[in-house]
Amino acid sequence: MKRVYNFSPGPAAIAQEVIQQAADEMTNWRGCGLSVMEMSHRGREFTEILATAKNDLRELMAIPDNYKILFMQGGAIAENAIIPLNLIGKKSQPATIDFVNTGHWSVKSIEEAHKYAKVNIAASSEDSGFNHVPARDTWMLTPDAAYVHICTNETIGGVEFDFTPDVGNVPLVADMSSNILSREIDVSKYAVIYAGAQKNIGPAGLTIVIVRDDMLGHALPICPSAFDWKMVDEHDSMFNTPPTYPIYIAGLTFQWMKRHGGVAAMEKNNIAKAKLIYDYLNSTDFYINKVPAANRSRMNVPFFLKDESLNGKFIAEAEQNDLVQLKGHSSAGGMRASIYNAMPIEGVQALVAFMKDFEKKYA
Amino acid sequence: MKRVYNFSPGPAAIAQEVIQQAADEMTNWRGCGLSVMEMSHRGREFTEILATAKNDLRELMAIPDNYKILFMQGGAIAENAIIPLNLIGKKSQPATIDFVNTGHWSVKSIEEAHKYAKVNIAASSEDSGFNHVPARDTWMLTPDAAYVHICTNETIGGVEFDFTPDVGNVPLVADMSSNILSREIDVSKYAVIYAGAQKNIGPAGLTIVIVRDDMLGHALPICPSAFDWKMVDEHDSMFNTPPTYPIYIAGLTFQWMKRHGGVAAMEKNNIAKAKLIYDYLNSTDFYINKVPAANRSRMNVPFFLKDESLNGKFIAEAEQNDLVQLKGHSSAGGMRASIYNAMPIEGVQALVAFMKDFEKKYA
């Protein structure tokens, strides 16, 4: 079976064991005579699949009991509206939301929040081309903000938080779409963690929301019921029909992670993978990455050929070597290697070997 | 390979050919070395999958050129909020929405609309236990309503529209979640058709919205961008990452329908399937269905055992015969056979044979 190394930023590589298990179980899930896609979400089989996925995620991230796990739809982009719709109701209107702006995904969150609240940009790295995370002591927070919003990994800039900020009693909300489950974090430092599943978890169409219980029950009257976290929680993520097949694949991924040492082992592997490629980037000026060491993303490694006229050749020859989806985001140009949990170290080794060969050939 | 006949109301049976093809293509889609789940939504492979699915749906339903096809998330329940958020902005506020209330799903739509608009119940069959569709000439419509909303098939009551209402110049909006693609309709009679995919189309987590182009561009400022139809259309259903795998399965289903004669052939088959079971119900008083013939749903056939103490035995013995998910909705009790497009006539024959045997045994 031909398989390629897939450096797509998302939807992204899924562990081969998971894909194989999904293929094996597709026509007849554990002898029940049905595909998971065909199961009633309220039947005993799917109820078990959902409960297991939730318990496994709780175990993997050590999510405290006072946090709810919600399986939702619409991705992080929809959640950018759903979060203010759920959280600003605690404050007198118009409420203020503090944002730390570290790149493309932060900007998306900020734009959407303007629909519902006053926005304060507490810190931003825009002036330096979004190439770092502003140090915590430079943030100008609003004392009575509804919440502080951060994006812990920016996939386009390749910039990742290397710290969990202390924001006092104001709820901390984090878009972790692109680095959830890739490193150990202390969930209790956050009020809300949200993530589209299509990077480290599974197929597109599933959004994970981890929310502290005191954040529930404050939705604005204009919040669609299907996106009111309290309603979703009260119905155990079945207020509307959940995206059952994506939840199943997410569950298989959680089990794959548990078999392979959990988040700690993933993090160790991610550090090794990132070191391989960044060490090489440090050693050459044929390729360029301008992010300071502390904020270099372990998940998304953007790099630029010094001679950009070689870009087309790089992509074409990489594909000939079964290394696909390396083209950078249209807004950034250059290249980007997304190396989420499911990318094996062999894939990164193959990429670095190719990059070295390419350098030798064209330098 | 054991396969059972799955009478689930949704998520529901998917054509066996589709499930088999999905299994075969899971690890390596057409030689590209990737599962569809892992493909970038912006890559050439998935772009082709999405475009083909859209074109096939347009062909199957004969959707006129001035209608847009949107692939969205959140199901019909989310869409119940998204529709007023997109449509009432054309009117001075508060706008009025006319509803025809034919059962459980109509009620859901009505409840959600109260968040955003004045609601007028133009007609209702609530007084008679939601057992029929009120005749068009009894509807009390509002002349300047933002739109008229109907649910063309009620899965719990088993009540289906047998006509397309003329509502003059007011836009007609239809929840077709449970009978889309099951019968030929004239799309041009509707302003908006929406449907969760998990009954006649594919896996849960995908919502199909078919919208006439003059309905775009009127979203309220509070409408989340990801649910603003104009934004979704302008980005070809990729304003946010779409539910790629459910779209792929929907596309396989559309191709399966085309191979098997399209909607006309599905309708013919659905008529034959429904006739089999309703003819038998007419012939006995061991089982009961109270819906008048004209409004009996071809998709969902609720029935009750005259002696309800036999309910448990019926379910258990049906399962022993590989006939699963026949239990009625908790609010209705009794039994329900959901026989969407993907249910072969052999499944309905097996069910009727079982029902006859059961009657002989216990009558």
**Interface pTM (ipTM) of the complex?**
0.97
User: Residue B255: its pLDDT value, please?
Assistant: 98
User: Residue A1: its pLDDT value, please?
Assistant: 53
Angle ∠(B243,B189,B103) on CA atoms, nearest 5: 70
Class of domain B262-362: alpha beta
Q: Tens place of pLDDT for every residue, chain A, 363 residues?
A: 578 999 999 999 999 999 999 999 999 999 999 999 999 999 999 999 999 999 999 999 999 999 999 999 999 999 999 999 999 999 998 999 999 999 999 999 999 999 999 999 999 999 999 999 999 999 999 999 999 999 999 999 999 999 999 999 999 999 999 999 999 999 999 999 999 999 999 999 999 999 999 999 999 999 999 999 999 999 999 999 999 999 999 999 999 999 999 999 999 999 999 999 999 999 999 999 999 999 999 999 999 999 999 999 999 999 999 999 999 999 999 999 999 999 999 999 999 999 999 999 999
Provide, as residue numbers in chain A, all residues whose Cβ is less than 8 Å from the Cβ of B322: 33
User: Residue A112: its pLDDT value, please?
Assistant: 98
- Give the start-end residues of each E strand in chain A: 5-6, 67-72, 96-101, 118-124, 147-151, 153-154, 159-160, 172-175, 192-196, 207-212, 287-288, 300-305, 323-324, 335-338
3-state SS, residue B211: strand
Catalytic member of B105, B228, B229, B327: B105
- Binding-site residues of B for pyridoxal 5'-phosphate: 105, 155, 175, 198, 240-241
CB A273 within 8 A of CB A279: no
User: Residue A307: its pLDDT value, please?
Assistant: 97
Chain segment B9-53, per-residue pLDDT in tens: 999 999 999 999 999 999 999 999 999 999 999 999 999 999 999
Chain segment B63-91, per-residue pLDDT in tens: 999 999 999 999 999 999 999 999 999 99
User: Residue B3: its pLDDT value, please?
Assistant: 80
Across the strands, what pairs with B71?
Answer: B208
Percentage of chain B beyond pLDDT 90 is 98
Mind telling me how many Å the CA of B322 is from chain A's nearest CA? 9
Instruction: Give how far Cα A299 sits from Cα of A139, A153, B3, B307, Å.
Output: 25, 8, 41, 62
User: Residue A190: its pLDDT value, please?
Assistant: 98
User: Average pLDDT for residues B354-358, to the nearest whole number?
Assistant: 98
| Nearest one of B53, B44, B6, B72 to B223, comparing CA atoms | B72
Provide, as residue numbers in chain A, all residues whose Cβ is less than 8 Å from the Cβ of B33: 2-4, 6, 322, 324
What residue ranges do the domains of chain A occupy? Answer: 17-259, 262-362
| Distance in angstroms (rounded) separating the CA atoms of residues B19 and B38 | 18
DSSP A148-202: EEEESEETTTTEE-SS----TTSPEEEE-TTTTTSS---GGG-SEEEEESTTTTS
User: What six digits make up the tokens of A8?
Assistant: 């797509």
Whether the predicted pLDDT of B1 surpasses 60: no
CATH code matching the domain that covers A17-259, chosen among 1.10.760.10, 3.40.50.720, 3.40.640.10, 3.30.565.10: 3.40.640.10
Residue that is written with structure tokens 């919003």 in the block = A149
User: Residue A3: its pLDDT value, please?
Assistant: 80
Average pLDDT, chain B: 97
Instruction: Give how far Cα A144 sits from Cα of A94, A96, A97, A99, A215, Å.
Output: 12, 8, 9, 13, 16
Chain segment B89-139, per-residue pLDDT in tens: 999 989 999 999 999 999 999 999 999 999 999 999 999 999 999 999 999
CB nearest to B240's CB, from A1, A2, A77 = A77
